[in-house]
């Protein structure tokens, strides 16, 4: 699928010396249209930079092609300064949809944020969290005692969700992963796989004694009382991958690592 057609490429990089130097090389060769005028953005860094860039261009129909200068680079391609125009023309798109998080805090303030990877709740004190979980309005878990809980998209299922022993979801699957962080009671509950149409509600129990924070990717809210989460298909972001190294393929490979 040819996406690189007009040469309007913008380059962004992380703050590492290696990524900044790579950006200078590529800008000298290809110019820089600036992110406001670009038809493609090339991100030089790690997965954190990729998520930040995707949030910047979300809903603007501007795909992002990443080259890895981070530690994992699951959302990135390998770095090479050569034949970038050829790689961009051959790159395959993957479109993902974010989760929408709606938070009500202890003061009654309602806030919203989008998450391409996951929405996470964390205990904010030495006390374990107590969380009630509703799915589509029905109480499914009366009381979860834990350090927190994660609601992950397929794209985010290989990130923090995987570290918390959650399931890996195929990138095209219409599913969400619900994964507890260090669950204490119920001791054997290890989470759930939900339809991407599910409406998830988390209610903080004993909020004064056991405060919680809620995070959508990198946006955090404190002293949350209720958090509602659902997939928001009105918003989308597109990643570009070299042929044979798509996000689908990477998710599949990750399931056979040991």
Can you tell me the distance from the alpha carbon of 151 to that of 128, in angstroms, rounded to the nearest whole number?
19
Catalytic residue among 6, 15, 32, 47: 47
> What is the per-residue burial (b if ≥16 Cβ within 10 Å, else e) of 5-20?
eeebbbbbbbeeeebe
Can you tell me the distance from the alpha carbon of 234 to that of 109, in angstroms, rounded to the nearest whole number?
24
3-state SS assignment for residue 11: strand
- 125, 211 contact by CB (below 8 A): yes
Q: Which helix (H) or strand (E) holds 247?
A: helix 247-254
Can you tell me the distance from the alpha carbon of 130 to that of 153, in angstroms, rounded to the nearest whole number?
23
Q: How many CB atoms lie within 10 A of CB 134?
A: 16
Residue 59 catalytic?
A: no
What are the beta bridge partners of residue 200?
135, 229
Show which residues are catalytic.
47
């Amino acid at each position: 699928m040819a996406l690189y057609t007009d040469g309007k490429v913008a380059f962004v990089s992380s703050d590492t010396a290696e990524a900044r130097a790579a950006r200078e090389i590529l800008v000298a060769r290809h110019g820089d249209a600036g992110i406001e005028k670009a038809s493609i953005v090339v991100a030089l860094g790690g997965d954190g930079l990729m998520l930040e860039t995707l949030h910047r261009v979300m809903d603007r129909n501007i795909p992002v092609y990443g080259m890895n200068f981070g530690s994992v680079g699951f959302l990135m391609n390998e770095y090479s300064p050569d034949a970038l125009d050829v790689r961009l023309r051959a790159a395959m798109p993957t479109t993902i949809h974010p989760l929408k998080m709606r938070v009500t805090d202890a003061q009654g303030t309602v806030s919203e944020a989008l998450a391409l990877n996951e929405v996470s709740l964390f205990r904010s004190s030495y006390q374990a969290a107590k969380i009630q979980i509703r799915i589509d309005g029905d109480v499914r878990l009366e009381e979860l005692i834990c350090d927190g809980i994660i609601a992950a998209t397929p794209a985010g299922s290989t990130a923090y969700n995987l570290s918390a022993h959650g399931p890996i979801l195929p990138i095209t699957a219409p599913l969400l992963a619900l994964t507890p962080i260090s669950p204490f009671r119920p001791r054997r509950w290890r989470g759930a796989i939900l339809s991407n149409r599910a409406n998830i509600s988390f209610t903080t129990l004993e909020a004064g004694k056991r405060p919680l924070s809620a995070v959508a990717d990198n946006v955090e809210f404190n002293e949350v009382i209720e958090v509602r989460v659902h997939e928001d298909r009105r918003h989308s972001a597109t990643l570009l991958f070299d042929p044979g190294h798509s996000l689908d393929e990477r998710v599949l490979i990750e399931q056979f690592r040991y």
